[in-house]
Structure 1
Amino acid sequence: MPFDFASVSAPFRMQPGLRRLAAGATQLTPNAPADRALREKLAVLGTYADQALLCAPGFDATSCLQALSQHAAGEHPQAWSSDGAGHGHAIRLGWSVREGEVRQHGTEQPDIGPCLHALPLPWRLPALMSLAFAEDFAVIDGRTAHIPWLAVCLPSGWAPEEKVGRHFAQVHAPVADNQLLVTASDHLARLVTGTERWARDVWSITRHPRLHAHPARLDPAPWPVLADAHALAERAFFRTEHQTFIPVPQLQQAVFTIHVTLTPLTQAVTHAYQARQLHDALASMSDAVLAYRGLTDARDRLLNWLQARASA
């Protein structure tokens, strides 16, 4: 899904930015064999599954995951099917799981089988669903504003294992200039677990080249000191997240979906108006936000490049 630059605003503020989804708008993005999101998710589940697949003690995600599975089958019947709880078939990938039993239906993606077999039985179906779609998933409980379950392989600079079971406000505590997010936490949790569908889009500029951006595996190297504005922009990436909420109102819960994209900055900014919007938003970021996003040392050079692109 192309990023909507209308989501880039100045002055920049850390805020919920929720909007209602239009009728018929899709919330999931099927993976095809060898897609980048699929490759990176397989690598994460093969090595760091305990940091990606997480559940708070005592929480039962069965009903919420069944609602997600039904939503996926209804939205993308060519990619996912299910004939009841405990079953899911990733049609494009040629694999299915039934009551924890892994079955192969084709030869498109042979490495999925060993990945799933290495996981505990209760996690095999959620893992297959995670591989079948580009999105990561989390469950939000509207009654408590806690996040008791996550299947997040591609985090953006945060550690899922530190967030599971925590309150919305605690999850967003490390975010710079987070007052609006923290203050609205309980209201947001109730809102997105109601009957309407909501979405938001967030963005950043990063030097890290992978969708998987767990803080323990980010390259600590700084932005290159000697690179000029053009050279720096050529090494930068535009990272976006399209986030949506699939409500399960009968449970007062919702499935939070996160679709991460990563595009070289020079390819993402193709129009002068996009460069102007990014320039003005970046120029208005506070020092705290720049530090939180790792942009302090790059800000001035990125502004120079964006200004030149806006004038071209």
Structure 2
Amino acid sequence: MHALTPAAHMPWPVASPFRMRPGLSRLVPVAEAATPPPLFLRDAQAPAYAAQKQAVLHTQHERALVGQAEPAVLQAIAAAYAAQTGVALAPTAQALAMGLQEDMVVLHDELGAMRTRWLSVCFPSNWSPAEKLGLDFTAIHAPVADNALLQAGGKGIVDMAFRQASMLRHVWLLTPSGDLPQHPETRRTRWEDAEAQANASGQRLLEQVFFRVERQTTLPLPALRRGVFFIRVMVCPLLHVLHAGPTRACELHAALASMSDAVVAYRGMTGVRPRLLRELAAFAGL
């Protein structure tokens, strides 16, 4: 069962040349009359997200909830959520995991390093929450391809986002699966499956692809020497997203073409990038 976000509500953070970069912005008004972007997103998909989280927590509880949650931190998260959305959730790990559409990671400020001590992640994008427990920023991002910009800015990113002010970042992916939960140990549609389906049906590979965005926000809790990292995953069929903007196919083609081979391999698209580029070029009339 998918929980797809309508294309009109999907962020479009695609830019070229593609670089693995921090891309952080503050969650503050851009003008006096402007409303700042929210820390949390709550929309009509909330019941579908809750149902999917319930399924994950029922079958993969130990994979999704990792580490120890502190009552004071849970209370702070529940209070922030209620203040923004008007929805009161019990300040327990289970209630927050189910009630927020976001996943969350709690970091402890220990001797100058922020380390992950509790993760509630039902919808990972092909990474294992258990493998991130106890790690700092540098270690978390060590496996990421072309991570030089991220690692160079690591100390400043942590200071800003987890000790000073709430921040916002978007990360986008192309995936052959429309599932929200994509744990690496869970069987799901792979790129080779999508290609086989496209070939068997005579369709374009683009018709088998989903656009996946992680909307990442942070909540500093300096009085508790803690910080919280929220991940709201949104998924939509790629063709729906491309049709939502006249230049999007060109922009995606340019971004995909500019990705280094290391990044393409890291995202598992080495075998399909040439075909995706050809189909995007035809779609855009390039």
What TM-score, normalized to structure 2? 0.85
Which structure has more helix as a fraction of its residues?
Answer: 2
Paired residues, number: 266
By how many angstroms is 1:311 displaced?
A: 3.2
Query: Does residue 1:21 correspond to 2:36, yes or no?
Result: no
1:171-250 paired onto structure 2 within 5 Å: 171-219=140-188, 220=190, 222=192, 223-224=194-195, 227=198, 231-250=204-223
Once residues 205 and 80 of structure 2 are traced to their aligned partners in structure 1, the CA distance between those partners, rounded to angstroms, is 42
Q: Distance in 1 between matches of 2:197 and 2:101?
A: 36
Look up the equivalent residue of 2:195 and give its one-letter code. Answer: P
2:78 to 69, 73, 88: 69
Name stretches of at least 5 consecutive residues in structure 1 with no aligned partner: 82-86, 89-124
* Distance change >3 Å, CA 74–CA 15, structure 1 → 2: same
Structure 2 residue aligned with 1:132, among 74, 80, 99? Answer: 99
Partner of 2:281: 307
Q: CA RMSD in A?
A: 2.3
Match of 1:162 among 124, 127, 131: 131
* Residues 230 and 305 in structure 1, CA contact (< 8 A), matched pair in contact too: no
Deviations 1:100-135 (A, max 9, x none): xxxxxxxxxxxxxxxxxxxxxxxxx22211211210
Aligned-partner Cα distance in 2 for 1:33–1:203: 20
| 1:265 and 2:238 aligned | yes
247-256 or 128-137: which moved more?
Answer: 247-256
TM superposition score normalised by structure 1: 0.78
Q: Does 1:44 align with 2:52?
A: no
* Cα distance change on mapping 1:302 and 1:25 into 2, 3 Å: same
Q: Distance in 1 between matches of 2:67 and 2:256?
A: 36
- Deviation for aligned residue 1:277: 1.4
The alpha-carbon deviation at position 237 of structure 1 amounts to 0.6
CA contact (8 A) 2:191 2:272 kept: no
CA contact (8 A) 1:31 1:132 kept: no
SS at match of 2:113: coil
Q: Distance in 2 between matches of 1:34 and 1:249?
A: 30
Residue 115 of structure 2 is matched in structure 1 by 146
Q: CA deviation at 1:203?
A: 0.4
- 2:266 is the alignment partner of 1:292: yes
| Structure 2 residues without counterparts, runs of 5 or longer | 30-35
Structure 1 Cα separation of the partners of residues 174 and 248 of structure 2: 14
For residue 247 of structure 1, report the CA deviation from its aligned partner. 1.5
Q: Distance in 1 between matches of 2:208 and 2:11?
A: 22
**Alpha-carbon distance in structure 2 between the residues aligned to 1:218 and 1:13:** 29
Q: Report the alpha carbon displacement of residue 221 of structure 1 after superposing the two structures with TM.
A: 5.9
Identity of aligned residues (%): 36
Shift of 1:9: 1.4
The one-letter code matched in structure 2 to 1:129 is L
State the 1:36 CA deviation: 3.0
In 2, Cα distance between the equivalents of 1:72 and 1:154?
19
1:166 alignment partner, SS class:
coil
